[in-house]
Amino acid sequence: MRARLSAAERREMILEAAGRAFSRGGYAGTSTDVVALEAGVSQPYVVRMFGTKADLFQEVFDRAVRSLLTAFAAELEDPEVAASPEVWKRLGGVYNSLVEDRDVLVVLLQGFSAAAGHPQIAAAARRFVSALYTLLVERTGCDPERAREFIANGMLLNALLAMNATEHADDPALAALAECALGQDCGFDAPESE
């Protein structure tokens, strides 16, 4: 006999299932029915617990964002480490370990994609990018250009990883871009001037 889950455990189970479902189908292609099926619960239960599909997706997106921001903040906790030119490589390593969970990577991408057509998700994506930029500038003391470069390279890295560019490096253009996905010459190293 299976033990009865608490409400918090059921909520967590549904959020994990929603992460997998949204990762596969995107925001537009994933219904609350699909999430319920993935979680092994009824669709009305999902709606009762989370409200709209947009609310559910935002919670899934926010979880992915929190995991990234929390991991970066932990890496930047020591002011000496944060001020070191090596910090960008270290943050790149932190990010690479987080997106080993492909669902996290794809949910982030799905959030940016869904933001184009959904104001609520666009607001969540803006909050994330703003928080990331602020964290980088405040903790590392870098100039705004360096923070923008790191974020831009991270966006490129997301796209390359999502399309499995590293597995198709026989194409010279993809090979050049895939160097970034492999952590080489991707803005994670300190610029020459530092």
Question: Model confidence over 108-167: pLDDT tens digits?
Answer: 989 998 988 899 999 999 999 999 999 999 999 999 999 998 998 888 888 887 887 777
Backbone angles phi, psi at 169, to 5 degrees: -75, 5
The pTM (predicted TM-score) of the whole model is: 0.84
Closest alpha carbon to 64 in 148, 7, 135, 124 = 124
Dist. CA 192–CA 7, nearest whole Å: 53
Closest alpha carbon to 24 in 51, 59, 67, 60 = 60
| Low-confidence winner among 31-35, 85-89, 111-115, 157-161 (lowest mean pLDDT) | 157-161
Distance of CA 122 to the CA centre of its chain: 14
Going from the C-alpha of 158 to that of each of 15, 23, 105, 182, 188, the distances in angstroms are: 22, 13, 7, 12, 14
Residue extents of the structural domains in the chain: 54-182
